[in-house]
Structure 1
Amino acid sequence: MELVYKGKTKDVYDLGDGNYLLKFKDDVTGKDGVFDPGANTVGLTVEGMGKSGLKMTKFFFEKIEEKGIPTHYVDTDIENSTMIVKPAKMFGNGLEVICRYRAVGSFLRRYGMYAEEGQPLDAFVEITLKDDEREDPPITEDALHMLGILSKEEYSILKNRTIEISNIIKEELAKKDIELYDIKLEFGRIGENNEIGLIDEISGGNMRAYKNGEYIEPLELEKLMLED
């Protein structure tokens, strides 16, 4: 097993059989000790976060697979905080896709002249480049196409799958009277046919969720979602 990438919240190993292993850490993104799913730095370490994130990831990836949506998911080992995945090629140096149902976070910081905090949004999809140096700048469909990162046809597939997946997650949260405000997803080209599919993870560290108007911390979200 060879370490091929050391990430902020997980490490990636080559298993040598064509698949990869993701080792989930207890680190979460944020700034000055405050969690922020949109941040590009590690803000704090929360004991049990890796295992918690993996439980949520397993739950949601299996729901998404049931709907026939392609993903890189193969299997999980909760005790060891690891997940086996199929290989996937990134778009350029990596994209993050955000689906927003309410105006919070960076959306509100950018568009606060027109948007009110918590204002409902109709599954607004935005794409940012994974570029720490430039603080993950947003990028448009035309720019993605002109820079050779994504074709217009691929953009359409990416956007539609983002909304479809986010709606599945939103509906699952709603069963526990939890409202999804926004979620960050990642996609890649999976397998020999380069099918666009969901990669990385789906956990409390990737989303903002609220219950009765109160923000739910990632660890608490996992408890609420997966309790019997």
Structure 2
Amino acid sequence: MTDISKVYSGKVRDVYAVGDDKLLIVATDRISCFDFILPTLVPDKGKILTKISVFWFNYLKDIVENHLISADINEIYKVIPRNIAEDLDGRSMLVKKGKRVDIEVIIRGYLSGSAWKEYQKSNSVCGIKLPKGLKESEKLPEIIFTPSTKAPDGEHDINITEQEASKIAGKDVIKIIKEKSVAIYKKASEYASTKGIIIADTKFEYGIVDGKVILIDEIFTPDSSRFWDKEKYAPGKSQENFDKQFVRDYLIAINWNKQPPVPELPKDIVEKTKARYLEVQRRLCE
């Protein structure tokens, strides 16, 4: 049996080293907002995120290689002991270990969230000039690449320009990441559209394995993306969503100051959050 040890516990995922060249990533039912882990769990959230990520990793592997080795628990148990953690089935991925690129990649097809706030002030997003007169949630004239720093847990990521990202990760690496990210966003958006979902924006993480840039972490989940209901889409306002924005909106509505103590989520908010995540899984994966 391969040596295994816990190396990291993030906002949502616990990560174990499996030998020298693999990781076990376990998606928990934790949920985070505004860089804080909420004290309330969302039942089965980790399983939903894992199922969606595995679907996309397979769907998009013709465009960019990814870190997934297997999400089959029987395959995973061939290399790790069964007592390493409880409830691994459905929420675990055995993946290649790589060197993380310390940039968070954000791809935007629509004007929303922090991009909308920045646009209102400057008619630009991360140094990219946009036409005047765009409305909230409007489709952008073209897909834009807006990287941010990868801040330690508890600190805020900072939006940066493509040039600043190149200084951190290297010009050649950023060029590959930008091309691959735009390509997978296009392919995923076209597929999601046939399922009644608009992918307004999303974030990716990349790593380097054997000198090659690959996709890591999660991909096109309700934690990492804005998913809107295509049938109800109407520019000029915030949109009906199937993602974590629902929880953010609740926390804003109760006037939480985004400082400890972090409030519990009421039962109905938890149930409605789970229902939104399950709806994304149903539409995309079934």
Scaled by the length of structure 1, what TM-score is found? 0.86
Separation of aligned partners in 1, 2:284 and 2:90: 21
The match for 2:42 among 27, 41, 46 is 46
* 2:157 aligned with 1:131: no
- Maintained 8 Å contact 1:204/1:222: no
- The letter for the 2-side match of 1:196 is V
Question: Greater CA radius of gyration, 1 or 2?
Answer: 2
Partner of 1:185: 204
Separation of aligned partners in 2, 1:81 and 1:210: 25
76-85 or 56-65: which moved more? 76-85
1:1-228 alignment runs, 5 A limit: 1-16=4-19, 18-30=21-33, 39-43=34-38, 45-65=41-61, 67-77=62-72, 79-91=89-101, 94-113=102-121, 114=123, 115-121=134-140, 122-132=142-152, 135-146=156-167, 149-190=168-209, 192=210, 194-202=211-219, 203-211=221-229, 212=231, 213=233, 214-216=240-242, 217-227=276-286
Moved runs in structure 1, 4+ residues, more than 3 A? Answer: none
- Maintained 8 Å contact 1:141/1:152: no
Task: Provide the identity percentage.
Answer: 28
Give, in angstroms, the shift of residue 29 of structure 1.
2.6
Q: Structure 1 residues 134 and 48, CA, compared in 2 at 3 Å: closer, same or farther?
A: closer
Give, in angstroms, the shift of residue 185 of structure 1.
0.8
Q: Structure 1 residues 175 and 101, CA, compared in 2 at 3 Å: closer, same or farther?
A: same
Separation of aligned partners in 2, 1:89 and 1:17: 12
- Maintained 8 Å contact 1:40/1:136: no
5-14 or 212-221: which moved more? 212-221
The gaps in structure 1 that reach 5 residues or longer are 31-38
- Maintained 8 Å contact 2:6/2:17: yes
Partner of 2:273: none
Separation of aligned partners in 2, 1:188 and 1:135: 21
Separation of aligned partners in 2, 1:179 and 1:80: 26
Partner of 1:35: none
The structure in which a higher percent of residues are strand is 1
Separation of aligned partners in 1, 2:171 and 2:281: 36
Give, in angstroms, the shift of residue 22 of structure 1.
0.2
- The letter for the 1-side match of 2:228 is Y
- The letter for the 2-side match of 1:101 is G
Partner of 1:36: none
- Maintained 8 Å contact 2:63/2:180: no
Q: Secondary structure at the match of 2:195?
A: coil
Give, in angstroms, the shift of residue 105 of structure 1.
0.8
Give, in angstroms, the shift of residue 4 of structure 1.
0.7
Q: How many positions carry a matched residue from both structures?
A: 212
39-48 or 199-208: which moved more? 39-48
Scaled by the length of structure 2, what TM-score is found? 0.69
Separation of aligned partners in 1, 2:104 and 2:277: 19
Separation of aligned partners in 2, 1:160 and 1:72: 18
Deviation per CA, 1:156-178, whole angstroms, max 9, x where unpaired? 11100110111122122112121
Separation of aligned partners in 2, 1:19 and 1:180: 31
Separation of aligned partners in 1, 2:186 and 2:137: 18
